[in-house]
Structure 1
Amino acid sequence: MDYKGIAQETLAALGGKENVAAAAHCATRLRLVLNDESIVDQAKLDSMEAVKGTFSTGGQFQIIFGSGTVNSVYKEFAQLSELSEMSTKDVKDAGTKKLNPLQRFVKLLSDIFVPIIPAIVAGGLLMGLNNLLTAEDLFISGKSVIEAYPGMADLAALINTFANAAFVFLPILIGFSATQRFGGNPYLGAALGMLMVHPDLLNGWGYGGALVNGEIPVWKIFGYEIEKIGYQGTVLPVLAASYILAKIETSLRKVVPSALDNLLTPLLTIFVTGILTFTLVGPVTRAAGNLLSDGIIWLYDTTGFIGGAVFGLLYAPVVITGMHHSLIAVETQLLADIAKTGGSFIFAIAAMSNIAQGAATLAVLATTKDSKLKGTSSAAGISALLGITEPAMFGINLKMRYPFIGAIIGAGAASAFVTFFKVKAVALGAAGLPGIISIKPGAIVSYIIGMAIAFAVAFITTIILAKREAKKEGRSAGKSAAA
């Protein structure tokens, strides 16, 4: 490959080096911040054989080159654009400046939760494995696996312990990640999270029962009572507390003498934040989190399959804006409080949307005669079925429009079905074909049928729309020839 030639052609299509404010690369994509995206020659980029697709999100313009290729192209591109070596974080920071306040808030949530997703996914999938072992009638009529084979009972108990760890100690994970994002010391954030789940506190999941029985333990300090309640599995309390901790720490470092900084700043930061957490921030945000969860459950239970269809139709447009990252916080709370919520319905709807996007892209593969488009759509379609939709959605469906319409119709139909049958996930995972292991055992068959509906409706609708599009183009060509 002529990597220098590819870089030169790419830079020219982007409007020259004057239009490139920042550049970096990840495993497959060139990530750019452009001064003016409107001057990009999209047609030229689309015609380049090395370019597998492009999309714009979160203030970044991203060009998909593929694994290996992108490294060599970036090396030449950086020299031509006269940009120094930058990390993807540098590019993210530069792109953030171009976002509006709502987009910045969504990106903030994304920056906090995306790094901890692997831990939550690991715990969630282990929870799914435990459910497979303990669910009755799934593999053996009238029995669970551990009832049929008692020797596996302790294995299931071991897996359950491993699975629960990430959710029981969730405030530690969030405290570390959130405090780091807010500009504080992440280890102080982790210490705050540990404080919020300390074994001396009443377990947060037992709060309701203790409240009914009037058995809530308290600290009595100068005649004032502070409830000794833990925050296991919570999201909002630790987010708010981490923000306060980061601000207190950074403020103290400005006024505490450097000789005493390492001694006084951590001490005062943890002590003041801890007091505020248990007296004010924790109780208020716990109530707000409960209201949020109850509201989502009420909406899900009240609107039924109609609400599910609307959510399914809107999910992909929400992904385009990047606001789907804000749903991670909601999903985490639903899964952390699974005894009350029964799991996450958001995951099932996201999976239907991803399958539909993949099906629409594969319909393009089946109908197009363009060899480059065939190669791109085959890889992108399979990727979407496995839960990664960006190449399919941004590289194919949105550009051609009609596949995107076919995809959201398929997503709406399938989402109505899985909502009607109360399909919920007990874990985060790849929202697509591999997501089967994340679904409640009793709902796996309905999940598979839902995926089949999403694929069939999206695929058939896209083919119908493709034929209509071809007829339109034929009529337009005929008129041009006549003229």
Structure 2
Amino acid sequence: MDTKKVASELVELLGGKDNVISATHCATRLRIVLNDDDKPNKQAIEELDGVKGVFSASGQFQVIFGTGLVNKVYGEFASITGVGAKDTDGGEKQVDHSDAAKKKMNPLARIARTLSNIFVPIIPAIVASGLLMGLLGMMTAFEWVAPDSPWILFLDMFSSAAFIILPILIGFSAAKEFGANPYLGAVLGGIMTHPALLNPWMLADAVPESIVFFGMNVELLGYQGTVIPILLVVYIMSKIEKGLRKVVPNAIDLLVVPFITVILTGFIAMLFIGPLGTWLGNGLTWSLDFIYNTAGIFAGLIFGGLYSTIVITGVHHSFHAIEAALIADLGVNFLLPIWAMANVAQGGAGLAVFFLTKNKKVKEIALPASFSAFLGITEPVIFGVNLRFMRPFIGAAIGGALGGAYVVFMNVFANAYGLTGIPMIAIAAPFGTANIINYLIGMLIAVTGAFAATWILGLKEDTTKK
């Protein structure tokens, strides 16, 4: 494939390089922010060599090329349009892609994208902790080592560390996203998890000490493992820091701004925002737990059936924050198995399209895109295959609903977030063999249900461009 030719043709079909504000890419997609979203010729772009699908979401025009190829196309695309080039001549700096995309989103999508940008970088730490907890659980359950073995001590330290310092991790990531100093965000996270405060993870029957500060009774209780308090605190910190930088002279900025920012935000955190955030977080997890235990399989049916539709809106990016709160407060993530059912169901529907379609290019896209969904990456099959025909997308929703109902009925859990499909087996394993088996059965139900529903609904290939 001549990637330079493809990139050049793509630029022209987008309305020329003057219509391109910024661009970036992920593992499979070229993401472009445009001045005029009506200029691109979507039908012609879909016919370009290597293109597996085209859609608009999250304030971006997105072209699916697939793993590996997208990197090469982006390199040529950036060279032609000038996006991503460094400012070396003292001229106007390039537009930040994230900021450009956010400006074109509605407020709800903007909040979802912000939460995603905060929590996605933390996923490796959460997944590692979840796997370490699983290893610790197996060593204890099968008595591979003595209970007082150093292995138990060290693995307990390694597996719990990320959750104990979670406010520090979130503080750093959130400060970057809010445009503040990330190290000050980490400091605020450190204040909220200071050893002088009673660690709620070790609370048991212990009662935190209280002190009187300006007539206020303040409990010396830490925020280890919490999510919402540090998000609120760092958001306020970012406003304070930015406000100070506007009025403090540059000559004393380094001395004055960090000092006032930390002391002001620290008091606000300990006296007001921290307790409020804890109350909100507990209310959120209690509500979700109540719905899960009360609605049961109906919750699984609804969430599993609607999740892929939510993915199209981009609001699903905010779910990482909710899942992190569930793990911190309840020790389990009961939402992720439902999302996983919806994802693999898209793969099942994509497989049905592979067998039903007579279009050679659709066949070439459908098979690898479906297997990608089984690994937790659904965008290629959703936007490149199922939504193009609509009926397979409905079939996937049916499969996701059936699988979601099953995993809720069987109480399938995960102890981390960020992995679905086959990789999620690793973070379902810590809850035992039965948990894994029920998860696999749920996947089978979701995939076969989506395949059968799509087969029954059929395929109208004359509506591929709808």
Question: Is TM more than 0.5 here?
Answer: yes
Q: Equivalent residue of 1:231, what SS?
A: coil
Task: Provide the C-alpha distance between the structure 2 equivalents of 1:223 and 1:31, rounded to a whole number of angstroms.
Answer: 54
- Distance in 2 separating the partners of 1:208 and 1:299: 27
Report the CA distance between 1:151 and its aligned residue: 8.1
Q: Report the CA distance between 1:56 and its aligned residue.
A: 2.0
Residue 131 of structure 1, aligned match among 117, 137, 147: 137
Per-residue CA distance 1:30-76 (angstroms, 9 max, x = gap): 22112333343222222222212223221111212244443443344
Cα distance in 2, alignment partners of residues 67 and 433 from structure 1: 18
Identity %: 47
2:255 paired with 1:263: yes
Partner of 2:163: 167
Structure 1 segment 218-229 matched on structure 2, within 5 A: 218-221=210-213, 223-229=215-221
Task: Name the larger-Rg structure.
Answer: 1
1:258 Cα offset (Å)? 3.1
Q: Which residue of 1 aligns with 2:386?
A: 397
Give yes or no for the alignment of 1:155 onto 2:147. Answer: no
Instruction: Confirm whether residue 316 of structure 1 aligns to residue 300 of structure 2.
Output: no
The number of aligned residues is 454
Distance 2:94 2:392 in 1: 31
* Aligned amino acid, residue 413 of structure 2: K
Give, in angstroms, the shift of residue 102 of structure 1: 1.1
- The verdict on how the C-alpha distance between 1:117 and 1:221 changes in structure 2, with shifts beyond 3 A counting, is same
Give, as a single letter, the amino acid of the residue that structure 2 aligns with 1:394: F
Partner Cα distance (1:313, 1:226) in 2:
45
The gaps in structure 2 that reach 5 residues or longer are: 87-92
Listed one character per residue, the Cα deviations across residues 352-372 of structure 1 (whole Å, up to 9, x for unaligned) are: 011101111111122223222
- Mapped to 2, the partners of 1:421 and 1:84 lie a distance apart of 48
2:328 corresponds to which residue? 336
Kindly state the Cα deviation for residue 344 of structure 1 after the two structures are TM-superposed. 1.1
Partner residue in 1 for 2:8:
8
Letter in 2 for 1:264: V
SS at match of 1:62: strand
Q: Say if 1:18 and 1:185 are closer, same or farther in 2 by CA, change over 3 A.
A: closer
Q: Measure the CA separation in 1 of the matches of 2:323 and 2:94.
A: 26
Is the CA contact 1:418–1:447 (under 8 Å) kept in the aligned structure 2? Answer: yes
Whether the aligned pair in 1 keeps the contact of 2:84 and 2:94 (CA below 8 Å) is: no
Task: String of CA shifts for 1:383-427, please: whole Å, max 9, x gaps.
Answer: 110111111111111111111111110000111111111111112
The 1-side partners of 2:246 and 2:18 are apart by: 39
Q: 2:89 maps to which residue?
A: none
Q: Which moved more, 1:185-194 or 1:120-129?
A: 120-129
TM-score, normalised via structure 2 length: 0.91
Query: What is aligned with 2:193?
Result: 197
Q: Check 1:6–1:221 CA distance in 2 against 1; reply closer, same or farther (3 A cut).
A: closer
Determine which structure has the larger helix proportion and give its number.
Answer: 1
Aligned residue among 410, 421, 426 for 1:421 = 410
Match of 1:93 in 2: 99
Aligned mate of 1:365, from 354, 363, 366 = 354
Q: CA deviation at 1:295?
A: 0.6
Does 1:109 find its partner at 2:115?
Answer: yes
Q: Deviations over 1:294-329 (max 9, x none)?
A: 011001111110111011111111111111111111
When the two structures are superposed, what TM-score results if normalisation uses the length of structure 1?
0.88
In the alignment, the residues of structure 1 paired with residue 202 and residue 79 of structure 2 have an alpha-carbon distance, to the nearest angstrom, of 60
Distance 1:45 1:11 in 2: 10
Q: Deviations over 1:160-218 (max 9, x none)?
A: 321111111100001111112112111011011011111111112356844xxxx4312
**What SS is found at the alignment partner of 2:274?**
helix
> CA shift at 1:345, angstroms?
1.2
C-alpha distance in structure 2 between counterparts of 1:220 and 1:412, whole Å: 52
SS of residue matched to 2:458: helix
Measure the CA separation in 2 of the matches of 1:417 and 1:85.
Answer: 50
8 Å Cα contact 2:127/2:427 also seen in 1: no
Cα offset, 1:123, TM superposition? 1.1
Aligned equivalent of 1:53: 53
Aligned match of 1:246: 238
State the shift of 1:92 in Å: 2.2
- Where 2:411 maps in the other structure, the secondary structure is coil
* Residue aligned with 2:417, SS: coil
The letter for the 1-side match of 2:375 is L
Assess if the C-alpha contact under 8 Å between 2:85 and 2:94 holds in 1.
no
Amino acid at match of 1:45: I
Partner-residue secondary structure (3-state), 1:183: coil
